[in-house]
Amino acid sequence: MRFRENLVGFTDLAAFMRKGLLQAALGAATMLAAAGTAAVQAFTLDDVTARARQLIEQPYAAPVSNLPPVFSKMEFADYLRIQPRRDKFEWQDLATPFKLAFYHQGMHFSSPVAISEVVDGKVHEIKYDPAKFDFGGLNFDAAATRNLGYAGFRVLYPINRDGVQDEIMSLLGASYFRVIGKGQIYGLSARGLAIDTAWQDGMSEEFPRFREFWVERPKPQDRELVIYALMDSPRATGAYRFVLRPGEDTVVDVQSRVFVRGEIHRLGVAPLTSMFLYGPNQGVRGNNFRPALHDSNGLAIHTGDGQWLWRPLNNPEFLSVSAFQVTNPKGFGLLQRGHEFHRYEDLADRYDLRPSAWIEPQGDWGPGQVQLVEIPTADETNDNIGAFWTPEKLPPKGQPMRHDYRIHWTLNEPALLEKEVGWVKQTLRTDGEVRQANLIRQLDGSTAFMIDFEGPVLAGLPNGTTVNAQVDVGGNGEVLENVLQRNPAIQGWRLTLRVKVKDPRQPLELRAALVDGKKALTETWSYQLPARSVRAP
């Protein structure tokens, strides 16, 4: 099972190919707005919600390709040649700081997506115009583009330098979208909804699609952009409102109204999709100059009762699904902790500049689970990590699920935590060893972890404060060593755990946190040592 089979576009579409995003058909069906160009007094989320409610009463209509062979059979290198013309950006001649640029149809992007703008409450379709594109010298009959459309769009904004339009948001394929802030490059993705991700054999997973968009034309003084989207799928429909606020950390406020139209076993709200190949907690693979290779390295959860949890990611041998029971979560996200260049040493892909995405629910979401999906992958071309909220109960047909939340795209992960809570700086994993009488170290078949905790709460502890480590190992493990010591290099503490796995064919769950008496000083480190195959002797 691969997440990158349905994913969004990149600013640099060459990177898009490297990420292996072209393995599934991602087009959305053509459907012009019911409002068309008719004048209305206002356009709101209620209008899109009404459309989504109508869809559940109709048979699902799968997208239909309208591509002529010259576009449907083109190689990716040729598709790369089709680029939006800067002098033809939408709103190029307007004073607004936001501009739009469109993705052309081609290859697996085989069905057009309807895109309209909203001006003073009136809806106008943005009609397809081939003059908006530079086709890079491709040879084709111009008449072949007559009935084509847009596959998605980008949002541009002068986020890094005044007067320079940089891409800050991309919406292309299924319900995926990517966002970046100042000084960031695209990394992980968000999407509108996940259906049956990693459910049983994985064959029932469904990728809902944004089939239509409406974008409010911003005024010159506006520093936010409002986007509406209509989602459709065989088993669900939905209406979305996005408010994009670019900045040092770009923020997207999301309002979703989702209708269930068929049986769903695992529904993912506010889903995030990322990639983890390896890191210090799993070890470099082969002779690779990069110490780590990932878009995210952990799942963070802020529970409804105020606890903080940190789950380092794995690239397991077998599919792994972890569930964390939480009522009214305060936040969760896939984070890229540690942005120092030396952690990655990659000038080409700059993993050090890829942001974290933090979901901050608005209002009470009730009981449910934050679920983490980790899928084995041999290289970085596949997104193998997913995280989302799964509500305990789904509503009946016709009654919308309402989930409002804010997504922070940030490089400043410590700012997400409360000031009085320390965090895990890094997790180091190595083969366990014992020091013999002759001081020579000998491997003993165990696994060792060095967990570094840092943060102002630890650096500011008064002298003489008693700090202890609360450690919990499940029934499949035995703790052989548990040592806590100061780490002056980070003004924090290092916990060394050496554990013996009883049955390597089963996962081992470990937990650790630093406390002062009964007071928690840090988030809880929650690690899963994945199951692995055991060769017969």
Q: Which residue has the higher pLDDT, 20 or 270?
A: 270
Q: How far apart are CA 111 and CA 26, in angstroms?
A: 8
Tell me the C-alpha distance between 162 and 158, whole Å: 6
Over residues 30-53, mean pLDDT: 68
Q: Confidence band (pLDDT; 50, 70, 90) for 118? A: very high
pLDDT tens for residues 56-99? 999 999 999 999 988 888 888 898 899 999 999 999 999 999 99
Averaged over 502-527, what is the pLDDT? 95
Domain 423-529 grouped into CATH 3.30.1330.40:
no
pLDDT number for residue 480: 94
Q: Give the pLDDT confidence score for residue 537 in this predicted structure.
A: 57
pTM: 0.90
Side chain identity at residue 329, one-letter code? P
d(CA 28, CA 167): 23
Q: Report, as an integer, the average pLDDT of 407-425.
A: 94
| pLDDT tens digits for range 272-319 | 999 999 999 987 777 889 999 999 999 999 999 999 999 999 999 999
State CA 408 to chain mean position distance.
11
Mean pLDDT confidence for 412-417: 94
Q: How confident is the model at residue 41 (pLDDT cuts 50, 70, 90)?
A: low
The least confident of 22-26, 150-154, 388-392 is: 22-26
- CA 173/CA 190 separation, integer angstroms: 12
Kindly state the average pLDDT of the residues 364-375: 97
Q: In the chain, what are the domain boundaries?
A: 3-416, 423-529
Query: Measured between alpha carbons, how far is 208 from 198 in angstroms, rounded to an integer?
Result: 15
CA distance 278 to 218: 42
Choose which CATH entry (3.90.950.20, 3.50.50.60, 2.70.98.10, 3.40.630.10) describes domain 3-416. 2.70.98.10
Two tokens, residue 160: 């890094």
Tell me which of 81-90, 141-150, 407-416, 509-518 is least confident: 141-150
* pLDDT grade for 334, boundaries at 50, 70 and 90: very high
What pLDDT shows up at residue 9? 34
Q: What is the pLDDT of residues 197-248, one digit of tens each?
A: 998 766 789 999 999 999 999 999 999 999 999 999 999 999 999 999 999 9
Could you give phi then psi for residue 104, rounded to 5 degrees?
-85, 155
Q: Tokens 């609360």 correspond to what residue?
A: 470
